[in-house]
Amino acid sequence: DHNPVLIDQKSVSDIRIRSDGREILLSRAPEQPSSWRMTKPLETRTKPEMVNGLIVGLSQIRAIRIHERNTITIPPRPPGAFLLQIELTSKGTGPNQPPSSSILTIEPPTPPEADTVLATSEERPGLVFELPRNPVAGGISLAQLPLKVDQLRDRTLANFEIASLKSMTIHQSTRTSLIHVFLGKDRTGRPRWTLQEGGQRSPANEAVVAKVLKALTRDEVVGFASNAPTSLSPYGLSPPTKRILLELEQGEPVDILFGRSPEGRCYAMKQGSSTVAEISPASYTSIATESHQWQDSLLMPFSIVDLSAMKIEHYPIKVPLGDPALTLKYKFLSEEWSARQYDEDVTSKLNKNRANQLLKFMEEMRVEQWLRPTSLAAARALRSPSFRLTAVFRELDEGGELKGFRESSFELAAASSSPRNRIFYGKVAGNPNYFVIGSERYTTLKETLLDTSEP
């Protein structure tokens, strides 16, 4: 058999990797066979697919040649000066059977640039295996095995069951107030992420929730800057620029600090850990710390049931006479429409199917992103809006009687004058924040509702 390691992959419980005077220890508990942890040189989670890949690779690596021990000379070396030693401990197959170990010792290459290395196994002391050191076609080589700490350790910032998350609290160094997002319920009683800030509660932007969770549990770190930093200041973590605290249904809270170095690189560190990880700028910015970022992506409350009238205006106005705005009146129960333009009744020209589609679109319309109130680009573009929609809704008292009307409106403008522009800025009346939508939503809003062709 040309395989130097004879193991039952499922029974391996511990892996020791020794090289350059250092040791890596990986272990898994019997009750959690799929959960590997690194306990040396540091205590941390592992990347399960890499550990499993190591076990599979060791069971599949094959010697190019096998030598009888008495027919080959292994160059002498000081004790412990091997290139690599891997010890696999397997649990006993029976209740009273002790664990067993398999140790593979790999000698330094001779000469140093050699493509193969000699290896011995304690299980088969009479043989010397000549193993491929560099990649070979159709086989496994030592170069393809994950044998380094940074290859085996988990490369995400956190590892928890998303379903167990109860709340997130976000701190920013430049803000005195906290952003608290918790799993509440909507009007129908269904679970809904809810934003709480300054004593006020409102629906949270669930797309931002998803981005935060992706950055924490799926995005891999760029690298590990330090496992034992003497100071956190070089990483912008003392004090951190932002911090997120995750409360789970079970287990300890997850507390992660974020910072930027003077050079602009992004770092994160989990409280209770001594490891500083470098993360991508995209992961860093995904941890939203501004209240406008957490605002629900729904453009504005738009109730078809309560809708009384809409006014749609397109700019610039090209016709000098009359009012080109299209004014629509709507009755929900009878689904009746009426339309006026240029002070004329144009109900007969109204395409009611497109008008009904617009209502459904408005009821579900979401922005792609909210911008802060100080966005100069949005303010500049909206000095010359190209579209405005105003909706008037009936308001009823507790007895169902009409008590008044509520008006909501928003306007849009292209981000640039380029014919290929794909971004549009907008602003809802009464909301200090600007927003962004794409060209597809803008085109839907601009679609004409009147059939202009003569019968």
Contacts made by residues 222-228, CB under 8 angstroms, sequence distance 24+: 222/277, 222/278, 222/279, 222/280, 223/150, 223/277, 223/278, 224/150, 224/153, 224/275, 224/276, 224/277, 224/278, 225/267, 225/276, 225/277, 225/278, 226/275, 226/276, 227/41, 227/42, 227/274, 227/275, 228/274
The pLDDT of residue 356 is above 50: yes
| E-only strand ranges, 315-363 | 326-331, 336-341, 344-345
Residue 424's SS3 state is: strand
Judge if 162-294 and 307-446 fold alike in CATH terms. Answer: yes
For the domain spanning 307-446, the CATH number is 2.60.40
Minimum mean pLDDT range among 255-269, 354-368, 391-405: 391-405
Give the residue-averaged pLDDT of 393-398: 89
Share of the chain above pLDDT 90, in %: 76
**Domain residue spans in the chain?**
9-152, 162-294, 307-446
- What string of DSSP letters covers 364-407? H-B-SEEE-TT-HHHHHHTTS-SEEEEEEEEEE-TTS-EEEEEE
- The DSSP 8-state label assigned to residue 343 in this structure reads T
Q: How confident is the model at residue 415 (pLDDT cuts 50, 70, 90)?
A: very high
The pLDDT of residue 455 is above 60: no
pLDDT digits (tens, 9 = 90+) for 112-153: 999 999 999 988 889 999 999 998 888 899 999 999 998 999
Give the residue-averaged pLDDT of 63-79: 92
Q: Give the span between the Cα atoms of 280 and 222, in whole angstroms.
A: 6
The pLDDT of residue 454 is above 60: no
294 closest CA partner among 205, 207, 220, 221: 205
The pLDDT of residue 31 is above 80: no
Q: How confident is the model at residue 265 (pLDDT cuts 50, 70, 90)?
A: very high
The pLDDT of residue 397 is above 50: yes
CATH architecture, domain 162-294 = Sandwich (2.60)
Average pLDDT, the chain: 92
Does the pTM of the predicted model rise above 0.75?
yes
Q: Give the span between the Cα atoms of 77 and 391, in whole angstroms.
A: 85
pLDDT at 453: 62
Give the residue-averaged pLDDT of 152-165: 91
pLDDT at 262: 93
The pLDDT of residue 319 is above 70: no
pLDDT digits (tens, 9 = 90+) for 140-149: 999 999 999 9
